[in-house]
Structure 1
Amino acid sequence: MEWTLQGLAALTTEKRLALYRNAVKSGDPKAQKIIDLIIENDLSLDEDGGLPFDHPVMLEIAAICAEPAAIAEAVQAAENGLPPLAGMERRIVAALGAKYGMHYTTHHAGRCIADEMLALGWVKLSQKPMPDGCIAKTATTFAKKDR
């Protein structure tokens, strides 16, 4: 079947997500057309409007959060009492532009950088407002683990 934008838009988010995931797995050029139509037209893949973790935007956020320079900036922010996300969010904004800030992308970024902080032995504290100018409004703060 040849999918059109109208046909994809008419699907429920559940069916669209299943089609998207099957297309990603197949690697077929026709399947890539489906993926492109969904992504380029910002068709929702989640009933709450979020993106699945295997969406290219979410994968790019995770990759940025795993960069050593981003982690170093996150640690420095945490050492200054800020959420780690505050130290490195600009990298995500620079890479994704308007694709960052909706579809739970800020939440995903916070989760990804939190995973890096936990791997370094930091401990989660509480949510704190992000500095002015940040896209995310709040994020988790961390403290060094007592040894």
Structure 2
Amino acid sequence: MAIQLIAGELPGTYVVPEAVTDTELMRLAKMLARRRLKRGRSMENPDAVFNALQTLLMDYEREVFGMVLLDNRHRIIEFVELFQGTINTASVYPREVVKAALAQNAAAVVLVHNHPSGDPEPSSADRQITDRLQQALNTVEIRLLDHVIVGFEGTASFAEDGLL
């Protein structure tokens, strides 16, 4: 049975007229997060994008690496998951990242991956792959706007932390 969402009185609020399980609630949250990452949406509010990414990736049991592809006005083209790894690492290939960005004619990207441990603090490996990806993307004139790490404890932004 499909859960019915009713628009609340304030924009961005919803009413669920019946009791829901935590699984159903998480499914609804992920559906709304995907809507926030829909084609044509602007990246004007990075916190909303970070929250949507956190909702999508925070409960994975393994590391997942993806990116938000953006046009030249920083509107979302697509969110793609590119690589899956183990509980504490994912192999990321710069060639595949560049290939995916070029395939969608992206002008800019926001990288994202989760830390299944919950702690979003960047590791030295995270810093190294970000540098490699930035170099690769620069070669084809695609701007790297941010690298966001998500966990259930919150998010970390390379751009906000001065790491880009």
- Where on the TM-score scale, by shorter chain, does this alignment land: which range? 0.3 to 0.5
| Structure with greater strand share of residues | 2
For normalisation by structure 2, the TM-score amounts to 0.33
Greater share of helix: 1
Answer with 1 or 2: which has the greater Rg. Answer: 1
